[in-house]
Amino acid sequence: MEVADGNAASAGTLNPPKSATRSVNNESVQVIVRCRPINQKEEAADCSTVVNVYAQRGVIEVEHPKSKSESKIFTYDGVYDWNSSQQSIYDETIMPLVSSVLEGYNGCVFAYGQTGTGKTFTMEGGGNSEESKGVIPRVFDQIWAHIDRTTGTEFLVSVRYLEIYMEDIRDLLKSKNSKPLELREMSGQGVFVSHLHSQTCQSAHDMLKAMKVGNHNRTTGATNMNEHSSRSHAIFQISIEMAKGDTKSVKVGKLNLIDLAGSERQAKTGATGNRLKEATKINKSLSALGNVIYALAENSSHIPYRDSKLTRLLQDSLGGNSKTIMIANIGPASDNYDETIITLRYAYRAKSIKNQPVKNE
């Protein structure tokens, strides 16, 4: 067995329970991995399940499709198998982050992984039932439950929704405004998208409506939805301004919720020369994200945030003033073995990124 993350231990004797590293007060990027169920297509193709999830220890083991004894082991802040509920992932990992945002911190959750591994299922949900609700609608519920039980504070909640497709930024809340938007930088405000529509919300329902409008605009703007969603990054931004009546002190909590483009083409960055150039052109932002994560993990003196729109927007979330959670999505089937290993290595690297979150007040 190869211990891919450098922990010299076997699956049976690995690491103490992960609970000590789960708190969002920890300044490292928190990385969790979720493995979706095997699907009908994979079953029909006689694919075997090569992924084992050891939730208690935060361990994922991936067996080589041709040799069970050649397995690779990775450890994360949390791991979730195909039976894990949307609620358990939310309660154990996202809820503490949103609580911090409600205290005035910046937060970021991004879903990473190959197309078809459950990024959208995790972030938005997998249907209309209560239990299938994903991270984003659960965030809405948590915010408004907090507002409803808090007295003496005025809240102003607003949302923005944008996508990055082929390095163009589009406002998903204003479909008519199809001209790509520009990034701006201002001291004290950091990097932001200029002229991005901001919509004030009075309830969880308002926020859900905004999410649905944005998703609809994403679909209708695209000629091939699958191709489009696998190549574009969708970023849902929430801002919560909190004003205490007596002291007039204002706190602001900001949260970025991101469904990234499919990582499969990123696999090609292992290539060199023309193939590397091609992969970079196909999704400059995703390649740049990989380079930023790599540079941060290596403690480089230069972090190439400026290489893409996505990394400029995420500058605070990676190596900056934010509490950040990465959800790496994988599939269990043998025919995804290579992509799964690439995703797990990528996610493992992100664990060593350190942020410096401070309250905005």
Residues that bind ligand ADP (CB under 6 A): 36-37, 113, 115-121, 126, 262, 329
126 binds, among ligand ADP, Mg ion, none (CB under 5 to 8 A by kind): ligand ADP
Structure token pair of residue 186: 């201002």
285 binds, among Mg ion, ligand ADP, none (CB under 5 to 8 A by kind): none
Query: Judging by DSSP bridges, how do beta strands 190-193 and 78-80 pair with one another?
Result: unpaired
Binding mask 193-232 for Mg ion (x = CB under 5 A): ------------------------------------x---
When asked if residue 114 is in the footprint of Mg ion (CB under 5 A), the reply is: no
266 binds, among Mg ion, ligand ADP, none (CB under 5 to 8 A by kind): none
Q: Compare residues 37 and 304 and give the one whose CB is closer to ligand ADP.
A: 37
Beta-carbon count within 10 A of 127 CB: 10
Q: Which contiguous run of DSSP H or E holds residue 233?
A: strand 233-244
Beta-carbon count within 10 A of 27 CB: 14
CB of 113 to ligand ADP, least distance (A): 6
DSSP state of 191: E
Residue nearest to ligand ADP (CB): 118
C-alpha distances (whole Å) from 324 to each of 58, 137, 258, 337, 357 are 18, 18, 11, 27, 9
CB of 120 to Mg ion, least distance (A): 3
When asked if residue 336 is in the footprint of Mg ion (CB under 5 A), the reply is: no
φ/ψ of residue 56, rounded to 5: -60, -35
Which residue has 């209560």 as its token pair? 130
309 binds, among ligand ADP, Mg ion, none (CB under 5 to 8 A by kind): none
When asked if residue 317 is in the footprint of Mg ion (CB under 5 A), the reply is: no
Binding mask 120-139 for Mg ion (x = CB under 5 A): x-------------------
Q: How many residues bind Mg ion (CB under 5 A)?
A: 3
Cα atoms in the Cβ-side hemisphere of radius 13 Å centred on 129: 7
When asked if residue 256 is in the footprint of Mg ion (CB under 5 A), the reply is: no
Q: Compare residues 36 and 72 and give the one whose CB is closer to ligand ADP.
A: 36
Q: Using an 8 Å Cβ cutoff, are 110 and 262 in contact?
A: no
Q: Compare residues 76 and 144 and give the one whose CB is closer to ligand ADP.
A: 76
Residues paired with residue 51 on neighbouring β-strands, in sequence order: 62
Q: Compare residues 98 and 333 and give the one whose CB is closer to ligand ADP.
A: 333
CB of 328 to ligand ADP, least distance (A): 11
Q: Compare residues 119 and 218 and give the one whose CB is closer to Mg ion.
A: 119
Q: Compare residues 142 and 229 and give the one whose CB is closer to Mg ion.
A: 229
Query: Judging by DSSP bridges, how do beta strands 233-244 and 250-259 pair with one another?
Result: antiparallel
Long-range CB pairs of 18-27 (<8 Å, 24+ gap) are 18/57, 18/58, 18/75, 18/76, 18/77, 18/78, 21/77, 22/77, 22/78, 22/92, 22/93, 23/96, 24/96, 24/97, 24/100, 24/323, 24/325, 27/354, 27/355, 27/356, 27/357
Which residue has 């797990």 as its token pair? 344
Stretch that binds Mg ion, among 114-122, 197-205, 239-247, 326-334 (CB under 5 A): 114-122
Q: Compare residues 18 and 233 and give the one whose CB is closer to Mg ion.
A: 233
315 binds, among Mg ion, ligand ADP, none (CB under 5 to 8 A by kind): none
Q: Compare residues 119 and 349 and give the one whose CB is closer to ligand ADP.
A: 119
285 CB-near residues (< 8 Å, 6+ apart): 164, 167, 233, 261, 308, 309, 310, 311
Residues that bind Mg ion (CB under 5 A): 119-120, 229
